[in-house]
Each structure stands twice: as C-alpha cells, then as structure tokens.
Amino acid sequence: MLSEDIKNKFIRSFNKKPLIVRSPGRINLIGEHTDYNEGFVMPAAIDKEIVCAVSANYGKTCRIIAHDMNDTFEFELNEFKRSDKGWPNYILGVIDQFQKRGLEVKGFDCVFGGNIPLGAGLSSSAALECSVAYSLNLLYQHNLSKLEIVHMSQDAENEFVGVNCGIMDQFASVFGRSDQILRLDCKTLEYEYFDFIMEDYGIVLCDTQVKHSLATSEYNTRRRECEKGVAILKKYYPTINSLRDVNIDQLTKHKNEFDDITYKRCKYVIEETDRVLRCCELLKKGDLIGFGKNMFETHEGLSKEYEVSCTELDFLANKAKESKMSIGSRMMGGGFGGCTINLVKISDLDRFIQTMTESYKNELNLELQTYTVKIENGTSKL
C-alpha cells in the first residue's frame, strides 16, 4: 500500500513517526479550454495520488526524499533558490508562498511518492503542491482554509515553477469528493457538487504516450485568439470581458468581422460553456448517456474548431465511439497528446481496453497505456 510504503521509508530514513497527507490527481469530465476564458469546468479528484510524510526537525534545514525517483534534496530555509533538478521546485514554490504571506515554516523532513502517471495530464504537480501545502499548514498550525491552500499551490506553480496554469487542477485536488464532480466557475470560484454515481460505468483513460512539441506554443496562441475575439465584440457590448460573457447569437451577429480561425475558436469556447451547463442538468436527471453525448461533441469541437487535438487523440476518440462500448469519449487537457477520457460500461471494461490497445498498435504502431480510475475525496490527512 502506497501510504505504508511512504511511512516506512520515512521511519527508516529519519527514525521518527511522520504526519501523513494524501492529495489526489484529477480528471476533467467536460469543460476544456474554458478555464482561461472565465468559463466553467467539471473536474473530479481520482484514486491516483501523491502521499507526503513530514515531520518538523526544528532546524533551518529541510531534507526531502523523492521515493519514486530514489532521489534526495536538501536546502536551507533562509537561502533557497530554484533547483536544476526540477521536481524540488514544486516544494520550494510552496514554501516560498508561506514565506511571502508571513507564515512561519521551520525545518522539516519529508518523504513523498505517488501513483499518478507522469505526463498523462492528471496533474501530479498540483497534487504534490497541495500535499505539501496541506502538510505544512497542519504541521505549523496556520489554520489556512482549503481555498487558501489552493491559491498558494497555484501561485507556487505560477511564480516559482514558472508554469502559467489555471486554478482547476489545485481546486479539484483539494475540494474533490467521492462519487461527485465539481462544477467550478472559473470567474467567481463559486462551485457546486453533482452526483456522478458510476454503478454501470467505469472511467478509462487512454494515454497516447505522445506529447507533440506544438502543445505550449499553440496553447498560448489559443489564448491570444480568444482575446482577439473578445476585443472585437467588446466594441459592441462594453460589458464583455471574456468569452464567458458572450452568447452564440452575439458572436454570429458579428461573424463578418472575424477571420475564420478566430471565429472558430470563439464558437468552440462559447458552445463548450453551454455544454457544461447542459451537462449539469443532465446529471440532475441521472442521464449519463446524455452526458456522454456531450463529451463526443466536445471532442469534435476540440479537433475541428479549436484544433488542439492530434492524429493519436482523434484515432482513440473515434475508435471508442465506433466500439459502442463507450458512451462518451474525448481528449482531455491542453491537447496535442496526453489522454482521452472514456465512460465505458462496466461489463465491457476488459474488452474495451483490449480493443483499444490492439487497434492502437495495429493501425498506428504505437503502444497504448490505459488507466481505470475512480472518483475520490480531495486532499486529506491519513
């Protein structure tokens, strides 16, 4: 068991008992590329997690052991800087946020490890940040709220690691609930839980095992294209500040002022926001079939209008739809690689995985990695 392994490693390494905290990775069921347009997302925490064992040592030195990487890192609290190793920066960034807020952190010892697949778009970095922030909050009794922990973890990644991520990953990791998904309003941070009871269906992630070099540059380009669309419409509707504030009639009315690409980008985002709200109503009725149909629509939009998919993702989403074993499939995350997320009948799980794996190998000559995940509670003390 992961938590026992981490605990035992800590005791062997530091000869004392630790505080143990777990923080999960996340999936996003629907609402892709809506976050930076101040729209809605529907994420959930999953049963893949980072486990962090910590204890105060009352000095100024922090000693960190990365269990999975069999690596160590040591630093002084009063003179640390970015590390060329990479992984320590997620921890250093969190400490940096405590210090910027005047919250005392003393020397501590830490062992962490996890079972979140790296590079699959399941937010292992957010889980690590949240586990460390949650641990230090308990260890030094700062009485931070969940939302403060989320903000500090996001700021750590933005400011210290240097990745301009939105708030969804950290929010889902901390606020997740078993058998429920969140509807998060990325404009106001208001949120609501919706039951997502999977009695007859399972969630399967199909990992393309690829990440095309376009990902970062095209992500930045999409943000600019959305901003361009907002600037055009704001001339006519001064209260518009983001695509969240735009309806499809307003966009269509001024279509002739848009170039084709900017129009397609804006159309996708507006329709995706509508899909998320529609899916909330479907969940209230317990209509997972209808929810899944919207997932297929999202993938079509991401592929044809937002153009952030790739051959591998399109192949997997289309194959899932053709199989009739999946009621919903789409690419998940920034795009150009990573995973598709699939809702699959429990009775067909094994056959679905076998079909997808064999097809991916036979037709694209690529190896497919699959993960079956369940929706779990957010960050907590063990």
Task: List, by residue number, the catalytic residues.
Answer: 169
As beta bridge partners, residue 20 has 53
**Whole-angstrom distance, CA of residue 230 vs CA of residue 249:** 14
41 bridge partner residues? 184
Backbone angles phi, psi at 230, to 5 degrees: -60, -45
Distance CA 155, CA 170 (A): 10
Count Cβ neighbours within 10 Å for each residue of 198-211 and write b for 16 or more, e otherwise: eeebbbbbbbbbeb
Give, in degrees to the nearest 5, the angle at Cα 205 between 352 and 166: 160
State the DSSP code for 204. E
Query: Which two structure tokens, joined as six digits, stand for 183?
Result: 């509807």
Ramachandran area for residue 123 (φ above 0: left; ψ -120 to 50: alpha; else beta): left
What would the DSSP string read from start to end of 120-172?
SSS-HHHHHHHHHHHHHHHHTT----HHHHHHHHHHIIIIII-----SHHHHH
**Which uninterrupted H or E stretch holds 243?**
none
